[in-house]
Amino acid sequence: MRHSVDAVQSENNSDLSPQGFTLVELLVSIAIIGVLISLLLPAVQQGRAAARRSQCQGHLKQLALGLHNYHDAHRTLPPGAIVYGPAFPTTTGWGWGAMNLPYIEQSALHNSIDFEAHNAIGSNAGLLQARPAVHVCPQDSQPDLFDVEIPSEATIPVATGNYPGNEFLLGPLSHKRFMNITDGLSNTVLLGERRFIQGNGPLPSSSSSWSGLVTGHSNFSYVAVPYLAPGSGSTINRGGFSSLHAGGANLALADGSVRFFSESMDEGVQRDMATPAGGEAVSF
């Protein structure tokens, strides 16, 4: 009888004793979790990159539609920069980004600008630090401001951005109309991306800003596309559109659409897409 009671108690004690992980089981579980994380992390990163690319396209879309509304109101596109001469400060420097502000819900900033005065002088200088989010690509890890040298050997902080215009349409003192784009609005680049690259000095070698031509010679509102110099075989204007998106960059076409173009696009096609009336047959 005593033996049977002890057996029952032993069986009950065995059932109630806690069952923990062994060291081997713990290591296996950690290894499985590590494998799952390594499999999921690239997918998460790719998803975030795709979201940033989509947001970037949305910014370009908003800017392009703003320019269309500007064109409807003024019967012309705004100039890339107001430039009357190389000397500082004989030019105001304001560009299409400043003139487009009321059409992208930035009327307060636009109304604060004195368009009769240079953008780097007086009260205008402080406005150059404003940084409308629609002018910034979320993929670009750039500072909010960078210092630009002015001829007085001083520097002025200017807000960074990522969306310059096509020089053929939004160049200095340009007043292009959509009717001038005989190659077709859907075949011609209006705006594009430009990544921020800090140069050796305070003036970056590659950047963009909504304000325009900040010092009369430092251009941030438009870019020239690369082309082959006649008879030399060398490429001019390599620092055109660029981005930190994997595989290419977003470009807004003159019809208001936005597309992602591969970084392997032929330079000749880029040039053909930039010219508004070159008569080229563009295929992309």
* pLDDT tens readout for residues 50-64: 888 899 999 999 999
With 90 as the cut, is the pLDDT of residue 241 above it?
no
Residues near 203 by beta carbon (within 8 Å), at least 6 away in sequence: 148, 149, 218
With 70 as the cut, is the pLDDT of residue 21 above it?
no
pLDDT value of residue 142: 81
- The answer to which of 108-112, 226-230, 268-272 has the lowest mean pLDDT is 226-230
In a domain, 11, yes or no: no
Residues near 196 by beta carbon (within 8 Å), at least 6 away in sequence: 140, 142, 143, 146, 160, 162, 204, 206, 207, 208
Q: Please give the Cα distance from 207 to 148 (Å, whole number).
A: 11
pLDDT value of residue 232: 52
The counts of H helices and E strands in the chain are: 7, 9
pLDDT value of residue 264: 83
- Token pair in block for residue 75: 């019967």
pLDDT-above-90 percentage for the chain? 30
Domain housing 199: 51-274
How do 222-223 and 227-228 pair as beta strands? unpaired
pLDDT value of residue 116: 86
In this structure, the dihedral spanned by the alpha carbons of residues 89, 91, 96 and 100, taken in order and rounded to 10 degrees, is 80
DSSP states along 110-158 = HHT--TTS-TTSTHHHHHTT---GGGS-TT----SEEEEE-TTS-EEEE
In angstroms, the Cα distances linking 55 to 9, 11, 137, 188, 264 are 68, 64, 8, 22, 23
Domains identified in the chain, total number: 1
pLDDT-above-70 percentage for the chain? 76
Q: Which tops the pLDDT comparison, 66 or 172?
A: 66
CA 24 to chain centre: 50
In a domain, 107, yes or no: yes
Bridge partner list, 228: 235
pLDDT value of residue 203: 47
Q: Given phi > 0 = left and psi -120 to 50 = alpha, else beta, which region is 246?
A: beta
pLDDT value of residue 55: 94
In a domain, 10, yes or no: no
Q: Which tops the pLDDT comparison, 10 or 212?
A: 212
pLDDT value of residue 122: 83
In a domain, 195, yes or no: yes
pLDDT value of residue 123: 87
Residue 7: pLDDT band with limits 50, 70, 90: very low
Residue 200: pLDDT band with limits 50, 70, 90: low
pLDDT value of residue 184: 92
235, 267 contact by CB (below 8 A)? yes
Of the segments 6-15, 54-63, 146-155, 206-215, which one has the largest average pLDDT value? 54-63
Q: How far apart are the first and last CA of the chain?
A: 93
In a domain, 32, yes or no: no
210, 132 contact by CB (below 8 A)? yes
CB atoms within 10 A of CB 127: 17
In a domain, 178, yes or no: yes
Residue 137: pLDDT band with limits 50, 70, 90: very high
In this structure, the dihedral spanned by the alpha carbons of residues 72, 95, 110 and 64, taken in order and rounded to 10 degrees, is 40
Of the segments 12-26, 111-125, 191-205, which one has the largest average pLDDT value? 111-125
Q: Please give the Cα distance from 175 to 19 (Å, whole number).
A: 80
Bridge partner list, 223: 166
